[in-house]
Amino acid sequence: MIQVEGLTKRFGQVTAADAVQFTVERGDAFGFIGPNGAGKTTTIRMLATLLKPDAGTASINGYDIAEDPRGVRGSVGYMPDFFGVYDDMKVWEYLDFFAAAYRVPANKRPALIRDVLELTDLSDKRDEYVDALSRGMKQRLCLAKTIVHDPEVLLLDEPASGLDPRARIEIRELLQELCGMGKTILISSHILPELADLCNKIGIIEQGRLLMVGSVDEIWEQLEGGKQLVIRVRDRLQEACDFLAARPDIASVEIEEDAVHALYDGQPDQEHKVLKALVVAGFEVSSFVEQETDLESLYMRLTKGLVS
């Protein structure tokens, strides 16, 4: 549904997107993750045909972004990272305006607007002025206008930024619902847990380069570096730390709060040897666990903060 090949954009000295390449299948939810300035917005704007690439191509729903931008625009709903809402418009007028812009016939618009308002949980705001809505409501309204022409592909640039935790969850649920309706979604964020539940595919971008693409599990497999062990001892914490640091199967250690965090990169399934060595050396180990590896720590390992 989305095919990106070598997409490149330069702004002066900065290469905002550097030969970005990935594909998104129909029905996929693709999470585009990276720190500030990584090139997410630039890439999405090129896909939305709002920015011309310096090199590379992309097609959406079979339409080439350079050769057939109209076809692309008809197929995508684009939600920008910053959006303006018009002052003197009511919620329904705002949606009516965008539906008209997408050439939805006038007699079909009222039912359509009712549907998207219901989907985005804004039905009771129908007759309010847009600028009187709270930020979270504006965000949902923007999402409503993004889907008003029933596009097959949604390009969403940080749709949940600036929202409170509840509103974030609501947006996520809404996106899950849209996914269930068969939409293909590309969503950017730098907040990982937000995407973990929603996306079946993740692309990590930094300094314009796509570092990795795949499912969360695949990305894990591609990663080297082993398992994070969290070890607690009754006393002699620093000594335990030094003891572990000297082992060849421990890549790094640090003390965090009252535990030693040790990165194990020895043979798989041989972590027990670390525990045994500690016990034999007389350390009173009170707990020895493998840290749950979540998307967050994966991300921290992958992106070294080169940009920020």
Question: Which of 42, 49, 59, 75: binder of ligand ATP (CB under 6 A)?
Answer: 42
168 contact choice in Mg ion, ligand ATP, none (CB below 5 to 8 Å, kind-dependent): none
Q: Supply φ then ψ for residue 190, to 5 degrees.
A: -115, 10
* CB closer to ligand ATP, 37 vs 266: 37
39 is a contact residue toward ligand ATP (CB under 6 A): yes
Q: Return the bridge partners of 197, or none.
A: none
* CB closer to Mg ion, 40 vs 138: 40
Closest approach of ligand ATP to the CB of residue 300, in Å:
16
Helices (H), 78-229: 91-101, 109-119, 135-146, 165-180, 192-196, 216-222
Please list, residue by residue across 59-96, b when 16 or more beta carbons sit within 10 angstroms of its beta carbon and e when fewer do: bbbebebeebeebbbbbbbbbbeeeeeeeeebbbbbbb
* CB closer to ligand ATP, 31 vs 39: 39
Question: Which of 34, 56, 77, 226: binder of ligand ATP (CB under 6 A)?
Answer: 34
Identify which range of 36-44, 116-124, 198-206, 208-216 contacts Mg ion by CB under 5 A. 36-44
Identify which range of 38-46, 97-105, 235-243, 285-293 contacts ligand ATP by CB under 6 A. 38-46
Tally of CB atoms within 10 A around 180: 9
Question: Which of 37, 69, 71, 214: binder of ligand ATP (CB under 6 A)?
Answer: 37
* CB closer to ligand ATP, 89 vs 211: 211
* CB closer to ligand ATP, 40 vs 172: 40
Closest approach of Mg ion to the CB of residue 82, in Å:
9
Number of residues interacting with ligand ATP: please give it, by CB under 6 A.
13
* CB closer to Mg ion, 41 vs 59: 41
Report d(CA 101, CA 95) in Å as an integer: 10
Q: Which of 85, 21, 95 is nearest to 53 (CA)?
A: 21
14 is a contact residue toward ligand ATP (CB under 6 A): yes
Half-sphere exposure of 249 (CA within 13 A, CB side): 14
Q: Return the bridge partners of 214, or none.
A: 202
207 contact choice in ligand ATP, Mg ion, none (CB below 5 to 8 Å, kind-dependent): none
Closest approach of ligand ATP to the CB of residue 22, in Å:
15
* CB closer to Mg ion, 83 vs 97: 83
Question: Which of 41, 61, 75, 146: binder of ligand ATP (CB under 6 A)?
Answer: 41
Question: Which of 109, 172, 190, 201: binder of ligand ATP (CB under 6 A)?
Answer: 190
CB under 8 Å to 208, separation ≥6 — which residues?
9, 14, 15, 16, 17, 18, 20, 38, 39, 42
DSSP three-state, residue 26 = coil
* CB closer to ligand ATP, 130 vs 187: 187
Q: Supply φ then ψ for residue 121, to 5 degrees.
A: 60, 40
The 8 Å CB, 24+ separation contacts for 158-166 are: 158/40, 158/81, 158/188, 158/189, 158/190, 159/79, 159/187, 160/189, 160/191, 160/194, 161/81, 161/189, 162/135, 163/135, 163/136, 163/139, 164/136
Q: Name the residue type at position 23.
A: T
Interface with Mg ion (CB under 5 A): 40-41, 81
Interface with ligand ATP (CB under 6 A): 11, 14, 16, 34, 36-42, 81, 190
